[in-house]
């Protein structure tokens, strides 16, 4: 028997779809429902390896855990990882398929739609309920013929639908009512309710607004959901990366905000940190170089903004430089891309902080790992990268990985590793970097809070959708 489902769409990107889906997953799991998440197509450079091989977006990983499940590639069969303003690496069923410009991507619609429907069908045979997350806005009229992630999917599987609007950015009346007005009759027929998300202040102040929206839309409001400062769900994409600080002089740590940053979730436990995209006249204790989807392009960006000289000057004055994945590659002597894996540029000189040379390769490393530092600090992380780095001179390893051996590079003032997630290990932060991590609730506590958030502010959920 096919499973039941709910489709959660948004009036825009960053309206809170991922948060809402995770809360629904946690609530259903707590109420004894065998539930799984699904997002047909995700555009994000924040990804995570599945144990069955391949990678999916971090949002679906969080939703899988909220369902009490191990993440798998069927939960996010298409992942677009932007490499430039007009092109993306296309990951299909967890594996790199092609790197395509947007126009060429849509030429494969029929093939990709079949991938999506097959993955959905496999999940629906195993679970009682599927929580489907949309992407961007549900009313992208110019893309309707190529829609396989919003109502283009919901109408094919007959999923009752919820529309989420973001009141924080303003225009919530126009965004909710306008989105509904632009739906086709078959899409409108699936819409069961709307939700007003990210409200700051006294919720009772929006009672009149809620009444107006219900009257004009003819739909019930599931709830007016408050802004929650606590980070209970992993950020899905770079839209969630904080803006660069206008005055970072009081911060102890800095994070360089690359244009093509990946896995920004690595830094969620770093306290007192400022994001920077220009040289700053302030001496930091640690500067972090994040991952990137295009190492050479972001390395050139670094040089264009004189951040390379700034980093070298900071290092000379005692600041520790820490590079993760692409940031690690930049810290070496040079980065080579002979096959044009990420860009047309074949080589770029690195910062020279570590004695390594990186060669980008077509074969992608995607795996979870565990290991230890020389101090005995345990780490759990994951690798997602196209390149391999080789030492040009003896350099101590940062980690000893179980079943894999030495990994990363470590000098007194410089550290580099391919391990995303290492900075999310409190013991590593405390022991190696001498940083006290931000407190964070356990996964189980986060899921409980999300379920309670839905139950408190959307009490009609069972009556409307179950």
For the chain, give every domain's residue range: 4-232+444-465, 241-431
**In a 3-state reduction of DSSP, which class is residue 66?**
helix
Instruction: Report the alpha-carbon distance of residue 112 to residue 115 in Å, rounded.
Output: 5
CATH architecture of 4-232+444-465: 3-Layer(aba) Sandwich (3.40)
Q: For this structure, is 221 an active site residue?
A: no
183 to each of 46, 133, 192, how far by Cα in Å?
30, 17, 13
The percentage of the chain sitting over the pLDDT mark of 90, rounded to a whole number, equals 88
Inter-residue contact 60 to 72 (CB < 8 Å): no
Contacts of 69 (CB under 8 A, 6+ apart): 36
- β-strand 4-10 against 334-336: which pairing, if any? unpaired
Q: Please give the DSSP secondary-structure letter assigned to residue 310.
A: H
Is the model's pLDDT at 239 over the cut of 60?
A: no
**How many other C-beta atoms are found inside a 10 Å radius of the C-beta of residue 108?**
16
pTM (global) more than 0.85 = yes
Q: Quote the distance between the C-alpha of residue 242 and its chain's center.
A: 14
Residue in 21, 50, 221, 325 annotated catalytic: 325
| CA neighbor of 245 nearest in space, from 210, 212, 281, 205 | 281
Contacts of 230 (CB under 8 A, 6+ apart): 441, 449
Inter-residue contact 244 to 275 (CB < 8 Å): yes
| CA neighbor of 336 nearest in space, from 307, 364, 356 | 356
Mean pLDDT of the chain: 94
Instruction: Write down how long the chain is.
Output: 466
Q: What is the pLDDT of residues 65-124, one digit of tens each?
A: 999 999 999 999 999 998 878 789 999 999 999 999 988 999 999 999 999 999 999 999
Inter-residue contact 457 to 223 (CB < 8 Å): yes
**How many other C-beta atoms are found inside a 10 Å radius of the C-beta of residue 289?**
28
Burial class of 360 by CB neighbour count within 10 A (0 to 12, 13 to 18, 19+): buried
Q: What is the pLDDT of residues 356-415, one digit of tens each?
A: 999 999 889 999 999 999 999 999 999 999 889 999 999 999 999 999 999 999 999 999
Is the model's pLDDT at 188 over the cut of 90?
A: yes
209 to each of 167, 180, 188, how far by Cα in Å?
11, 16, 21
**In a 3-state reduction of DSSP, which class is residue 370?**
strand
CATH of 241-431, one of 3.40.50.12160, 3.40.50.880, 3.50.80.10, 3.40.1360.10: 3.40.50.880
Q: For this structure, is 108 an active site residue?
A: no
For 335, phi and psi rounded to 5 degrees?
A: -120, 125
| CA neighbor of 41 nearest in space, from 81, 14, 12, 4 | 81
Is the model's pLDDT at 1 over the cut of 70?
A: no
CATH fold match for the domains 4-232+444-465 and 241-431? yes
- β-strand 4-10 against 161-166: which pairing, if any? parallel
Inter-residue contact 233 to 19 (CB < 8 Å): yes
pLDDT at residue 4, rounded to an integer: 96
């Amino acid at each position: 028997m096919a499973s039941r489902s709910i489709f959660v769409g948004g009036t825009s990107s960053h309206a809170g779809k991922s948060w809402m889906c995770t809360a629904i997953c946690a609530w259903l799991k707590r109420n004894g429902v065998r539930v799984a998440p699904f997002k047909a197509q995700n555009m994000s450079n924040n990804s995570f390896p599945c144990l069955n091989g391949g990678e999916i977006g971090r949002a679906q990983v969080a939703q899988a855990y909220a369902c009490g499940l191990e993440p798998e590639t069927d939960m996010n069969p298409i992942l677009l990882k932007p490499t430039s303003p007009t092109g993306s690496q296309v990951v299909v069923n967890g594996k790199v398929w092609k790197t395509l410009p947007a126009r060429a991507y849509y030429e494969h619609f029929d093939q990709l739609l079949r991938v999506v429907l097959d993955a959905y069908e496999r999940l629906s045979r195993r679970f009682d309920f599927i929580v489907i997350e949309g992407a961007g806005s549900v009313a992208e009229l110019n893309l309707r013929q190529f829609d396989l992630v919003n109502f283009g999917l919901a109408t094919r599987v007959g999923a009752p639908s919820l529309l989420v609007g973001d009141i924080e950015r303003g225009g919530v009346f126009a965004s909710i009512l306008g989105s509904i007005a632009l739906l086709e009759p078959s899409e409108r027929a699936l819409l069961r309710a709307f939700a007003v998300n990210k409200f700051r202040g006294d919720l009772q102040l929006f009672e009149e607004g809620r009444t107006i929206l219900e009257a004009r839309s003819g739909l019930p409001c599931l709830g007016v959901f408050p802004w929650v400062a606590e980070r209970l769900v992993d950020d899905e994409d770079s839209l969630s990366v904080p803006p660069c600080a206008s005055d970072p002089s009081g911060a102890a740590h800095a994070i360089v905000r690359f244009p093509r940053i990946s896995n920004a979730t690595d830094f969620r436990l770093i306290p007192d940190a400022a994001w920077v995209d220009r040289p700053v006249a302030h001496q930091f204790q640690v500067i972090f170089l994040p991952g990137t989807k295009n190492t050479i392009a972001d390395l050139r960006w670094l040089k264009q903004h004189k951040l390379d000289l700034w980093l070298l000057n900071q290092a000379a004055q005692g600041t520790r430089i820490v590079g993760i994945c692409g940031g690690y590659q930049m810290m070496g002597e040079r980065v080579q891309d002979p096959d044009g894996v990420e860009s047309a540029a074949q080589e770029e000189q690195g910062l020279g902080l570590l004695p390594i040379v990186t060669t980008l390769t077509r074969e992608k490393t995607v795996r979870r790992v565990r290991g230890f530092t020389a101090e005995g600090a345990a780490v759990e992380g994951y690798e997602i990268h196209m390149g391999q780095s080789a030492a040009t001179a003896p350099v101590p390893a940062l980690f000893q990985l179980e079943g894999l051996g030495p990994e990363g590079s470590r000098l007194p003032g410089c550290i580099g590793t391919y391990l995303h997630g290492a900075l999310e290990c409190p013991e590593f932060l405390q022991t190696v970097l001498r940083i006290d991590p931000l407190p964070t609730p356990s996964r189980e506590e986060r899921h409980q809070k999300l379920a309670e958030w839905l139950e408190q502010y959307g009490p009609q959920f069972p009556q409307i959708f179950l």
